[in-house]
Amino acid sequence: MTTVIDGKQVAASVIDAVKTASQALKDQTGVKTGLAVVIVGDDPASHAYVSAKSRMAKECGFTSVQHTLPEETTQEELAALVQTLNRDDNLHGILVQLPLPKHLNSEPIIQSILPEKDVDGLHVVNAGRLATGDLDGGLVSCTPAGAMVFVKRTHGADLSGLNAVVIGRSNLFGKPMAQLLLAANATVTIAHSRTKDLAAVCRNADILVAAVGRPEMVKAGWVKPGATVIDVGINRIAAPERGEGKSRLVGDVAFDECAEVAAVITPVPGGVGPMTIAMLMANTVIAAYRKAGKTAPKF
Ligand code: GUN
């Protein structure tokens, strides 16, 4: 029997743990965890994500601050806002929603966030801590951290002897995912668009993680029987069977056929997606514990 991971359920359990942790911090120190979310421009999808993040922060008992800036905001204005948020002791996490409008340069903005408030895990200091195996000192990017919760709940904390293949080499996901798997003792391969015989590389994986942005690219013949398959892709494709002009979301994995070969698999939607917000909340409460000089909880 294949196990289909219920990402909503796992995310809810992480959120429960975050609520408990934030309440305990408040009881012990009087500190209320705070998250600032910044969005620039009018992209509807980004607004939907940001609203969900702000709402969830409130639900976790955090101070939740949202800055909604107009499309024509300048680089200097955005940089000044980040400096203000950096200096605010009531805010433990800062997230600048990406992508920014085209006239803005996101990299200097992200790198100007204090590393200890960089709950997105995108600052080079946090990327560097992860790369050196310092998982307790920095903050880990939310989507790989969420995917790793699934891996650990399936295989335990020690992946010794297991082969893991990550398809995709982005800074946002592929590289940090590979680092997390490596830190857990997996034997890790990062595959990408230039990899020769990708199917054969993937068939070697006990843990296969797909993050390429190509709808249903991973086929049943790529999956080792009994493998764990984590699908990080979110692709909108036409669905004429649902009516004219309709679409639906699919992952990077051809779910139905791969589910027949895998032992454990994540669906899209309802897999890794819900974990991203949950891990953002986890990172924020971790940052608040550290600021208060307390040992941070693990999620
Ligand atoms: N846009 C889409 N996903 C993310 C994310 O995880 N963090 C930020 N900052 N922007 C995003």
pLDDT tens readout for residues 204-219: 999 999 999 999 999 9
Q: What 3-state DSSP class applies to 247?
A: strand
pLDDT (tens digit, 9 = 90+) per residue, 265-287? Answer: 999 999 999 999 999 999 999 99
pLDDT at 1: 86
For residue 142 and ligand 1, the question of a CB distance below 6 A is answered with: yes
Of the candidates 222, 220, 227, 233, the one whose C-alpha atom is nearest the C-alpha of residue 269 is: 233
Q: Is the CB of 24 under 6 A from ligand 1?
A: no
Considering Cα of 129, then 12, then 239, then 1, what sign does the dihedral take? positive
CATH assignment of 142-274? 3.40.50.720
Give the model's pLDDT for residue 270: 97
Q: Does pLDDT of 163 surpass 90?
A: yes
Closest C-alpha to ligand 1, atom 2: 98
| CA 71 to chain centroid | 26
Please report, rounded to a whole number, the percentage of residues in the chain having pLDDT higher than 70: 100
Instruction: Give which of 83, 117, 87, 118 is closest to 291, Cα–Cα.
Output: 117
Which residue stretches of 60-105 are H helix?
A: 75-87
The answer to whether residue 53 is catalytic is: yes
| Closest ligand 1 atom number to CA of residue 143 | 6
Mean pLDDT score, 113-117: 98
The best mutation among 97, 110, 140, 284 to test binding of ligand 1, ranked by most ligand atoms within 8 Å of the C-beta, falls on 97
pLDDT-derived band at 34, boundaries 50, 70, 90: very high
Alpha helices in the chain (DSSP H): 7-29, 44-59, 75-87, 106-112, 124-131, 142-155, 174-183, 198-203, 255-259, 273-291
What predicted TM-score, i.e. pTM, was given to this entire model?
0.96
Q: What mean pLDDT value characterizes the chain?
A: 97
Q: Is 197 a catalytic residue?
A: no
Q: Where are the domains of the chain?
A: 29-115, 142-274
The amino acid that residue 263 corresponds to is A
Q: 155: alpha, beta or left, given left = phi > 0 and alpha = psi -120 to 50?
A: alpha
The 3-state DSSP class for residue 132 equals coil
Sheet holding 93-96: strands in order across?
A: 63-69, 34-40, 93-96
Question: 227 CA distance to ligand 1 centroid (A)?
Answer: 29
Q: What is the pLDDT of residues 226-264, one digit of tens each?
A: 999 999 999 999 999 999 999 999 999 999 999 999 999
Question: Quick one: pLDDT at residue 106?
Answer: 98
Per-residue pLDDT for 89 more than 90? Answer: yes
Q: CA-CA distance, 295 to 193, in Å (whole number)?
A: 41
pLDDT at site 228? 99
142-274 shares the fold of 29-115:
yes
Domain 29-115 sits in CATH 3.40.50.300: no
